[in-house]
Structure 1
Amino acid sequence: MDPIGKKLLDIATKELGYTEKGDGYTKFGEWYRKNLDGDHDEYFSTAPWCDMFLAWAADKADVTGQAGQFASTVDHAKWFKKNDAWGHDPEPGAIVFYDWNGSGDIDQVDHVGIVEKVDGHTLHTIEGNADGYKLMRKTRDMDSVVGFGYPSKIKVEAKYTPKHAAPAPTVDQVGAPAASTRTHEQQHSPAPEHVPAQEVVLGGILAFVLCGTVALAAGRVAAAKAPTSPPIRVRKRGKHHRPATPVALPADVTPADLDAADAGTTLMPAISLAAAHEAEDREFWGRIAHLEEDGELDFWNTLHAELTDSASDRYASTPGFR
């Protein structure tokens, strides 16, 4: 028996006894109109339904690719022939096509059924629209047969499923955290070569952090030790000492700029004071230049040199500036 035809027979036997309504309406024609006819033409609801019954059965048996789905018996027969599934030898499960005039012409096919059993030259079939109104078993001879369609000979492209394909993930696997996947990969992946150990990497990071901390602390200590007023020499008042005239600032510098600079750095007050003393010295010695022959000036020159050398030595040895 044709294995595809057997599936059709299993469906067909359950529908034996079905009859069309008074106006020719059938559930098979209505199904065809809604599901297969592109225009959903009302004609099919009451049209001759022998082949539409087979289309419905093929859909229920899930063999539409091998059995075909037609309303026209001529088109159905030609489809089998076109697909090299046409012949003249009866067998159970084959689709049988009739011409009541016995012409044997495929273009003259009038009716269709499915072979249930073969007894010599006698066919036992199940046919829709048999006797013009009913789904029933019929006994036919070969005189009116045009040919047979063999569903199992239709070549249908099967859906390929790899034998070693991974099974579909379960709901739990889909919702599982990615950590499990990483653990699996780590277990089955070789360790990369020339990669430092984790301890070495962590040690390097800790060393970098420690060095940065020490450097920051050292900078803070140095800033704290920087003197607010460096050891600048201080002259004692003498006979020729007079208060210095204020130093004129450049046109683009204001006292506010100096105050801002003082606030911006720890060493600025000391530098500013040193600059002020230097300017005062220049003005002082400029005013007494005409006294170079004065004996008292020699005394002051000597005292100034000694104090300058002494102050320079003390300044260089101060811890905050070494």
Structure 2
Amino acid sequence: MDPIGGKLLEIARDELGYTEKGDGYTKFGDWYAKNIDGDHNPYFKTAPWCDMFLAWAADKAGVEEQAGQFAATPAHAKWFDEHDAFGDEPTPGAVVFFDWSGSKDIDQIDHVGLVEKVDGKTVHTIEANADGYKLMRKTRDMDSIVGFGYPGKVEVEQKYTPKHAAPPPKVENLTAATPNIAKAQETDAKEHPESIVPAQEMLLGGLLALVLCGTAALAVGKAAKAPSAAPIRVRKRGKHHRPATAPVELPVEVTTADLDAAEAGTTIMPALSLAAAHEAEDREFWGRIAHLEMDEELSFWNSLHDEAVRETVG
């Protein structure tokens, strides 16, 4: 049994007994004119319908790519031959082509049907437009048969679709948010015409500002290394202790207003101002004790001189 032809046989058995109307009209010809013929020619509604029935059955079975859809029987047989699916071996489910003159010429084919069963040299068929008006079973011998088309041998290009692939998004879905963005930009343009900046430029400007600020912060960190809070220094000779809560005296050229303005305008100015304040305080401190250091050193040398004098006198 041809696997594709078997599906056609199931459809054909359900339609057994169908008879064309008095004027030759059939639902199969009507369907063919509307769905297959590109010109929708009404001629097919009353035309000989043996092959148009097979086209209809193939559509119902979902095997039109393997069975073909034709109205002209010679063209149908040639189509099978082009697909290397035409031969002379009777097989249940095969499409059988007839020439009543007994020739074996594809161009002389007159009629078509489906092989339902094979009994030696006898072929049992189901044929549309049999005896000129009906869908019925017939018994044929090999003398009138030109050949057979095997739908199961027709190779169809497989269309691969991943099992879990989602359907591609529609264009309207991808651009659904565009009207809202455009509307917002239009409103902003009306209220602030001087501040119109394309979205792409705003994004690039923001990224550039972020990079520049980050670079500046790293440079300041390496140069000043100013902590966020005043450090506690170890009391050693030459150093002094500064508690975290001690007031900071600003340089003459820096006022509290300058610090407030800097803090309001940037995030790195407070750290820079604090470092400058610490440095200024250090300069002032050492300036005030410089004379003390000189006195201390002179006292040290004087003590050595006194000691040397005592030893000499003694």
Give the TM-score range, shorter chain.
0.5 to 0.7
Change beyond 3 A, Cα 1:222–1:12: closer
CA RMSD of aligned residues (A): 2.9
Distance in 1, Cα, partners of 2:29 & 2:165: 41
| Other-structure match for 1:56 | 56
* Shift >6 Å, 4+ stretches: 221-224
| Other-structure match for 2:256 | 220
Deviation at 1:103, TM superposition (A): 1.2
| Other-structure match for 2:127 | 127
Count the aligned residue pairs: 184
Q: Which amino acid aligns with 2:148?
A: F
Q: What secondary structure sits across from 1:102 in the alignment?
A: coil
Deviation at 1:166, TM superposition (A): 3.6
Check if 1:115 corresponds to 2:115. yes
| Structure 2 gap ranges (5+) | 168-220, 230-247, 261-314
Change beyond 3 A, Cα 1:151–1:222: closer
Q: Which amino acid aligns with 1:118?
A: V
| Other-structure match for 1:307 | none
| Other-structure match for 1:82 | 82
Check if 1:25 corresponds to 2:25. yes
Deviations 1:20-43 (A, max 9, x none): 000000000000000111111111
Deviation at 1:219, TM superposition (A): 3.8
Check if 1:157 corresponds to 2:157. yes
Deviations 1:57-101 (A, max 9, x none): 001111111100000001001111111111000000000000011
Change beyond 3 A, Cα 1:221–1:107: closer
Change beyond 3 A, Cα 1:95–1:167: same
Deviation at 1:209, TM superposition (A): 11
Distance in 1, Cα, partners of 2:116 & 2:3: 12
TM-score (norm 1): 0.53
| Other-structure match for 1:296 | none
Is the radius of gyration larger for structure 1 or structure 2?
1
Distance in 2, Cα, partners of 1:65 & 1:209: 78
Q: Which amino acid aligns with 2:121?
A: H
Deviation at 1:105, TM superposition (A): 1.1
Percent identical residues: 71
| Other-structure match for 1:137 | 137
Q: How does 1:39-54 map to 2 (within 5 A)?
A: 39-54=39-54
Deviations 1:215-265 (A, max 9, x none): 9xx8437899xxxxxxxxxxxxxxxxxxxxxxxxxxxxxxxxxxxxxxxxx
Q: How does 1:165-184 map to 2 (within 5 A)?
A: 166=164, 168=166
Change beyond 3 A, Cα 1:122–1:223: closer
